[in-house]
Amino acid sequence: MKKYILVVTLLLIIGCAKQEPAAPQEPTTPDTDFSILDAALRNSDESACNQITRQDIKDDCINAITSKTAASSLSTSACNKIPDQETKSSCIDNVHLAKANKQNDENLCNQISNEALKTNCRDTILSSKTAESGDTSSCASIKDELQNEVCNNNANMKQALDSEDVSLCAKITNQFMKKDCENILG
């Protein structure tokens, strides 16, 4: 009887050792979802989003394309089909940002609810207007340090070019821009 149990146990051990390993399981998020997402976003093809199997990725795809379309058309109405309130608000803000930039009107920035985006909108438009006018005094109200520097450099470049005075190029802090200024007026 003991031999019989020993033989059965050995056969079970040998049989288990010879079993084929389990086939690897398919990942729950196929790489194809991300490939489809990438192609859909590049082509602004909302219908391609419907081929994505993971719901959260599909929703992100549709929302991103809706936001892009809304900003391109300068119309917030497309944003209303986004169910998530935070994403909808972001979409609306991006439409207001696009309008403000297109019309070069900093007052339109006031319609943006996100404070950081609102500030960036105002700074960008002020910088753009300063580059057109050459008046560096407007740059003082720009809060972002890098944007403030860009504003001053653009205004100084404009002043140097308008007056055809190469000595004004020295006020430009960006070395590439300063070289361009000197080369143009040199």
What pLDDT is attached to residue 150? 92
If you average pLDDT over residues 116-139, what whole number do you get? 90
Q: Taking 80 as the threshold, does the pLDDT of residue 1 lie above it?
A: no
What's the token pair of residue 70?
């809304």
pTM for this one? Answer: 0.69
